[in-house]
Amino acid sequence: MTTSPSVSLIDDCAFQRQPSLFGRLRAGSRWLVLGLATVLLAGCAGLNQVPPAPQVLDVGLVELPRQPLPPRAPLVVMPVEAAPLLRSNSVIWRETGTLEPNAYASFQWASPPAALFGQRLRDRLSVEGPVLNTNTTGSMPELQVSLERFEQVFDPQAASTGGASSVGDFAMRAVLTRNGDVIDQLRLALRVPASSDDATGGARALRGAVDAATENIAQWLSQQPDLQLATQQASSGR
């Protein structure tokens, strides 16, 4: 009697339920395609998102001096010169003692610092007398200003001792000339404490520095004999 080979129904059913290697690859490929499509759609959605525009800062408007100065003779004010770092709209900050300047990503000046300071200076000096762009007669006094520093500086050690953790650091040089000859010069370096350790706090501090600097220049010019109206009138009457 021939014995038929036995067949395990359980094993056979289990084999039928398991997908073939090809089937498993097809299923895996479908999930891979779906995953890649999801990533691509998310990437395309991100490309359509426009980053927010930087917040624009400035140094405010000129204020009338608390103590009026005497009238001044016409003065030629040349455009403010500055280092390349201060010719862009970037709001610069750094840690004290470092040589690595940084720029805020979400803030910028309305104009380069040299232009902002130059406009504020012209507005302030026009209170006492005419401010001209060019030397029409060739013999009028000229003011040349160089902006050397205009940035926010952080000092963690100062904060630990109760001082301001950041300041508006400002420095400039002014030279008064006439007919190519130097009459006098003025150097200013100011550090104004910031009200907050962010870009707006630094901007407020630098605005205070600009106010102080323009007022110092106005007072310095009021003491120059070449710009005093009495001296000018006496010279013209001779």
Give the domain ranges of the chain: 9-47, 55-237
pLDDT reported for residue 154: 95
Is the pLDDT at 102 greater than 70? The verdict is: yes
How much is the average pLDDT of 171-194?
Answer: 97
Question: Are 131 and 145 contacting, i.e. CB atoms less than 8 angstroms apart?
Answer: no
pLDDT above 90 coverage of the chain, percent: 61
* CATH C-level class of 55-237: alpha beta
Is the pLDDT at 3 greater than 80? The verdict is: no
What whole-number distance in Å separates Cα of residue 46 and Cα of residue 38? Answer: 12
Tens digits of residue pLDDT in 193-233: 999 999 999 999 999 999 999 999 999 999 999 999 865 55
Is the pLDDT at 120 greater than 50? The verdict is: yes
User: At 62, is the secondary structure helix, strand, or coil?
Assistant: coil
Is the pLDDT at 10 greater than 60? The verdict is: no
* Average pLDDT value over all residues in the chain: 82
pLDDT reported for residue 136: 85
pLDDT reported for residue 6: 34
pLDDT above 70 coverage of the chain, percent: 76
For residue 131, the tally of other CB atoms under 10 A from its CB is 18
C-alpha pair distances (Å), 212 with each of 50, 121, 205: 39, 11, 11
How much is the average pLDDT of 59-66?
Answer: 84
For residues 52 and 86, the model is more confident at 86
